[in-house]
Amino acid sequence: MKKLLILGGSGFIGESIVDYGDSKKLIKDKISKIFILSRNNKKVNNNKKHIKVEYISKNILDVKKIPQVDYIIYCLKSHSLKTSNNFFNQFLKLLKTLNKKPKILFTSSGAVYGKNNNKKKDTENKPINLNSINNLSWYKKKYALEKISIEQKIADLGLKNYHVSIARCYTFVGKNIIKYKYAVSDLINDALKEKLINLKSKKNVYRSYMHSDDLAEWLIKILKNSNKKCPIYNVGSDKVINLRELTKLISKISNVKSHLNKISSKEWDYYAPSTAKAKKELNLKISINLNHALISTIKSLNDQN
């Protein structure tokens, strides 16, 4: 059986993979244990029945060695490019403590494509354009530049005979999304509180949402197919929805009234991937459509309350 280490695994991606494993869905991948290394592990629920999970509550800079594993998912991020580089340099040192080279997946972001100016889904062969990235908001710009920097470092590992891959992740739903500050989280939270579901945006915003179970399945498949050429895949749903329609859908599912602010801006915000490459090369697919993803998310959160 195989072992997986998730670096920075106390966030949405790590939680999604652990939940996916606890539903016995990692059995087919022969993964029997997950290590989560994160300084924020105190937030994580350790009550898992069907997957062994070991939490290492440390900053990676304080770690002397990591467990002997077959797979690594690198989810570490920081608030500065300097710290991000320090994290990765420490990671390189830790790799040398392993008896064999693991397969490595880096969870990047669709933000690396920069601002979308044509309402077309991003494809993996779209060139990285720094001018487009400079048009992002300050936080998103910094985030995108950090991801680009680590992408290059991961690709360099492929030149050193490591089997590596990159997943450019987009937007998601699932029971853990409520912990994070996203538009869909705010809408679902309103529905859970049975108060008016209020969409505050006054411009047209377009997103696509993948359920956390599909996210976990895609990441594991991409990880297992890592190679020296460092393949890159978009990860997310290719079914685009306007947030106004999303609000109405959540309202219908939860039976809670909604309010939509009038569109007063000619600006628009479009962020969605083309996933044709992952579907063609890895035979991946969306198993849970948006309607069922939202129903599952809301139900699981209601069950927790």
Strand partners, 2: 31
CA gap 197, 199 in Å, rounded = 7
pLDDT at 226 over 80: yes
Residues 6+ apart with CB under 8 A from 262: 202
pLDDT at 136 over 60: yes
pTM of structure: 0.95
User: Which pLDDT score is estimated for 117?
Assistant: 82
Instruction: Report H helices in the chain.
Output: 12-22, 81-95, 130-134, 138-159, 183-192, 212-224, 243-254, 276-282, 290-304
pLDDT at 42 over 90: no
Whole-number Cα distances in Å, 287 to 218, 234, 298, 303: 11, 16, 18, 22
Per the CB < 8 A criterion, the answer to whether 282 and 225 are in contact is yes
Read off the pLDDT of residues 281-296 as tens digits, 9 standing for 90 and up. 999 999 999 999 999 9
Per the CB < 8 A criterion, the answer to whether 247 and 191 are in contact is no
CA gap 179, 67 in Å, rounded = 29
pLDDT-based confidence at residue 130 (cuts at 50, 70, 90): confident
What average pLDDT score do residues 200-221 get? 96
Sheet holding 31-37, edge to edge: 52-56, 31-37, 2-7, 71-74, 103-109, 164-169, 232-235
CA gap 233, 124 in Å, rounded = 6
Whole-number Cα distances in Å, 74 to 3, 7, 49, 60, 165: 14, 5, 25, 11, 10
Read off the pLDDT of residues 141-191 as tens digits, 9 standing for 90 and up. 999 999 999 999 999 999 999 999 999 999 999 999 999 989 999 999 999
Q: How many CB atoms lie within 10 A of CB 202?
A: 13
Instruction: Output the average pLDDT for the chain.
Output: 93
User: Which pLDDT score is estimated for 45?
Assistant: 52
